[in-house]
Amino acid sequence: MIKSFAKIFGLITILLLTFILIGIWLPGTWHTEASIEIPAPPQAIFPLIADLDRWDEWTQWSEIQSTTSDPSYGPGAFRTWDNDQYGSGSITIIESHPENTLSYRVVVEKKSEIIGDFNIKPSKIGSTVTWNESGDFGNNPLMGYVAITMGESQGEQLYESLDNLKKIIDY
C-alpha cells in the first residue's frame, strides 16, 4: 500500500515539475493587433479614442467602476479602477497626436504592464483604425501559460471594441 502511494506521489511530483519547467521556458510576453475600416475621416474617430471617458461608449470599460482624471484626454490623462474581477490598476495616456496616434500604458496590480497604441490612417472608404497591445508577465512560470492565449483572447476583445466604435461613429 505504501509503495502504491509512493508511486502516485512520485508521478504527481514529476508532472508538477514538468509543468513548472515548461512554464519557465515559455515566454511571458504577448502581442495582439486588431484593425477595422470605418467609413469616416480620422477627425471623426479620434475624439472617441483620445478621451478615456468616451471609452465607455465603445469598449467593455463601461462594465468596470472607474475614475478618470480631469481632463480625461491628452498625455498624462488616466483612469483608475479597483474591481473584484479585474483587480486594481490604471491606464495612462502616454502620447496623443490628434487625428492619427494615441499611445497608453496599463498597469494591473502593480505587477503586469500593457503598452498599447491606436493608429488611424485615411483610406479609400474613410479610415483604417489599428489597435496594438503588448504585455509582459515577467518570469512567472505559471503566467507563461496565460501569455500563450493572451494574444488571441485580447485580440478578440480589441476587435469587438473596434466594431462597436464603428457602429457609433456618426458621420
**pLDDT tens per residue, range 120-139:** 999 999 999 999 999 988 77
Domain borders along the chain are 28-168
Q: What is the pLDDT of residues 26-74, one digit of tens each?
A: 888 899 999 999 999 999 999 999 999 999 999 987 778 899 999 999 9
Q: Which residues contact 153 (CB under 8 A, 6 or more apart)?
A: none
CA distances from 54 to 19, 28, 47, 145 (A): 43, 31, 8, 33
Residue with grid cell 469587438, as numbered in its chain: 160
pLDDT band at 117 (very low <50, low <70, confident <90, very high): very high
- Rounded mean pLDDT of 155-167? 95
Strand partners, 135: 30, 114
- In this prediction, residue 49 carries a pLDDT of 97
- In this prediction, residue 90 carries a pLDDT of 96
More confidently predicted of 54 and 153 = 54
Which three-class secondary structure state does DSSP give residue 123? coil
pLDDT band at 146 (very low <50, low <70, confident <90, very high): confident
Strand partners, 29: 136
pTM for the predicted model, two decimal places: 0.84
Q: Which CATH number fits domain 28-168: 1.10.10.10, 3.30.2130.10, 3.40.50.2300, 3.30.530.20?
A: 3.30.530.20
**DSSP H helical ranges for the chain:** 2-25, 42-50, 143-168
Q: What is the mean pLDDT of the chain?
A: 90
Q: What is the 3-state secondary structure (H, E, C) of 17-56?
A: HHHHHHHHHCCCEEEEEEEEEECCCHHHHHHHHHEHHHHH
